[in-house]
Amino acid sequence: MPGRFIKHLFTRFVLLPATISMILLSIMVWYAGFSLLSLLALLLVFCCIVVGVVIVNHINTLHKNLVAIENGTLTEIKYLRNGVFAPLYEVLNIIVKRIRKQEDELQREKIRRLRSVIDGLDQERNRLSRELHDGIGQSLIAVKLQLENAETQNYSMMRAGIDAAKNRIDLTIEDVRNVCNALLPAALNEFGIVSTLRSLCSELGSLAGFEAVFENSGSLDRMSKKSQVYLYRIAQEALNNIAKHARATQVTMKLNRIDNIVSLEVSDNGKGFIFDPVSFAQRNGLQNMRERTQLLQGEFVINSKPGTGTTIKVSIPYNTDNGKDQTDFGG
């Protein structure tokens, strides 16, 4: 601490020598008689000690104020307006206010960028919703009508109606594949789940203003596409929840594989919350993560307490595209 260091130096090199000098001078005055010069010297040393004590007190006060400002419990340094050190405190307060203003501007910019990202995600979801409704939904309705119409026709007309319905179903399947491919993050195909989650963690940490740490152990090179996409969406949802609700400054994401079990753990030092089944059912983000975990035959665990942060852990079987999980997310 700068204040303590200055106090230590002042005590060691000013107050201590001055006190020793005063003792020595007192002895000299005792033996030499109370001459005017001796009394003046003694008075001078006494004044030095008093001034030193005043300076040390101001240093202590300044140090305490700066610590309080750093901790966020004080916004400016308190001082006497007509005091000797008032100009110094005024300059320090100006500096502190400028630093606060810059910090506030940075925080507002981070919030603006985060909202922009979230708005972009919402727009993409709305676009996909319209595409599913207007494209795939309408195609399925047309198939249903064709089959209902075929039931009332003779055999040859029925066969023609069924064939037309089958063709439309094939087109609908292709539309579904296209939508699924649009949902698949391009980075997963190019870099794999480990590098993609590391980048996601870093990018959202920068946007939301928290320190993000990513840890990985175990090879996941042959992990199935379905598992990769679901894990990515779970991690994305967890980080988005932290950014929007947790008020965290530190986030750790761990992606590990031990034998045939893959675990994803996301923990933060945010405000936490009281966990209960009712509140869980009302939290769409947590529900989405649990449902995706269940689709992978995995286990979803959440631990949270007010003031201690939140930890989410997902454990799933390690399935490969060549193993028992043959489902390709893109079709």
- Could you please report the per-residue DSSP string of 160-197? HHHHHHHHHHHHHHHHHHHHHHHHS-HHHHHHHHHHHH
Residue 254 bridge partners (DSSP): 215, 265
Confidence of residue 118 (pLDDT cuts 50, 70, 90): low
Q: 115: Cβ–Cβ under 8 A, 6 or more apart, which residues?
A: none
Q: 273: Cβ–Cβ under 8 A, 6 or more apart, which residues?
A: 279, 304, 306, 310
Residue 285 belongs to what H/E stretch? helix 284-295
**pLDDT (average), residues 14-19:** 57
> Which backbone phi and psi does 312 adopt, to 5 degrees?
-115, 130
Is residue 300 pLDDT above 90, yes or no? yes
Is residue 81 pLDDT above 60, yes or no? no
**pLDDT (average), residues 280-301:** 83
| Percent of the chain's residues with pLDDT above 90 | 21
Say if residues 162 and 148 touch (Cβ distance below 8 Å). no
The residue length of the chain stands at 331
Q: 327: Cβ–Cβ under 8 A, 6 or more apart, which residues?
A: 224, 226
pLDDT for position 149: 77
pLDDT for position 6: 47
User: What is the C-alpha end-to-end distance of the chain, expressed in Å?
Assistant: 62
What would you measure as the largest C-alpha separation in the chain, in angstroms? 139
Nearest C-alpha neighbor of 263 from the set 298, 230, 297: 298
Nearest C-alpha neighbor of 329 from the set 183, 197, 186, 196: 183
pTM of the full structure? 0.51
Could you give the 3-state DSSP secondary structure of residue 263? Answer: strand
Based on the number of CB atoms within 10 Å of its own CB, is 64 exposed (0-12), middle (13-18) or buried (19 or more)?
middle
Q: For residue 121, how many other CB atoms are within 10 A of its CB?
A: 12
Is residue 88 pLDDT above 60, yes or no? yes
Could you give the 3-state DSSP secondary structure of residue 277? Answer: helix
* DSSP 8-class letter at 73: S
pLDDT for position 330: 38
Say if residues 172 and 142 touch (Cβ distance below 8 Å). no
Is residue 145 pLDDT above 90, yes or no? no
pLDDT for position 320: 78
> Which backbone phi and psi does 247 adopt, to 5 degrees?
55, 40
Nearest C-alpha neighbor of 3 from the set 59, 85, 78, 51: 59
Q: How far is CA 256 from CA 74, 109, 220, in A?
A: 43, 34, 9
Confidence of residue 310 (pLDDT cuts 50, 70, 90): very high
pLDDT in tens, 28-66: 555 555 555 656 666 666 676 666 666 767 677 766 766
Say if residues 262 and 231 touch (Cβ distance below 8 Å). yes
Is residue 131 pLDDT above 90, yes or no? no
